Amino acid sequence: MRRFLPPFVLVALLCEPAFADSIDLASYLARLPVRHYSGPHIVAGLLALMVINYAVNYLVIGLPAICFARADRRAVTVGLIWLTLLGQIADRVGALVALFLFAPPLARMLGIRSVGAWMLGLLAMNFLCSAIAVGALALYFLRRRWKVRPGLAWGIAVTAAVLTNPVWGPVVLSLVPTLRVGAH
């Protein structure tokens, strides 16, 4: 298996992403508009986002746990690395659950006909599912790993579920005008 991994990684980094019927599920799951970027740019972008994600998690989850619950600073700092990595998985699970729950047949049953309305519904469902997944993960770390008392742990977890929700990324990106190099 190890001998197949380097060529696979190399091909994945160098190939232009393929899109079936112009549906860009990779952007939905990766939370990046991957269509216009090369593999190395995507990897660099993901690493930068992980560092930013860790910093936000530290501000929203770590500092309150350290300051108000007197949790061990080293345990929280190291634990947040794992929480940040597992949070990516939790978010993707939330995205897939949202996609399943708000699938086109359900949208049709609810009377949603336009693609724009479906995407807004999917985004709202994704926000809810990701909030539950990320909040539950934060609550686990706060209660089980760092021994934060229940009321404070729930408060921090709910705050984290809203403020660190990865669905904010596409919303913010949609509000930022597209930058085109060399465009006149």
**pLDDT tens string for the chain (184 positions)?**
455 455 545 444 444 444 333 444 455 555 555 556 666 777 777 788 888 889 999 999 999 999 999 999 999 999 999 999 999 888 888 888 888 877 766 667 777 777 777 777 788 888 899 999 999 999 999 999 999 999 999 999 999 999 988 777 766 666 666 544 444 4
d(CA 162, CA 56): 12
pTM of the model: 0.71
pLDDT tens per residue across span 41-54: 777 777 888 888 89
Tokens representing residue 44 in the block? 């660099």
Give Cα separations from 167 to 22, 84, 96, 110, 133 (angstroms): 21, 15, 13, 23, 12
pLDDT tens per residue across span 54-86: 999 999 999 999 999 999 999 999 999 999 999
Could you tell me which of 155, 182, 157, 179 has the C-alpha nearest to residue 90?
Answer: 157
Tokens representing residue 132 in the block? 């539950």
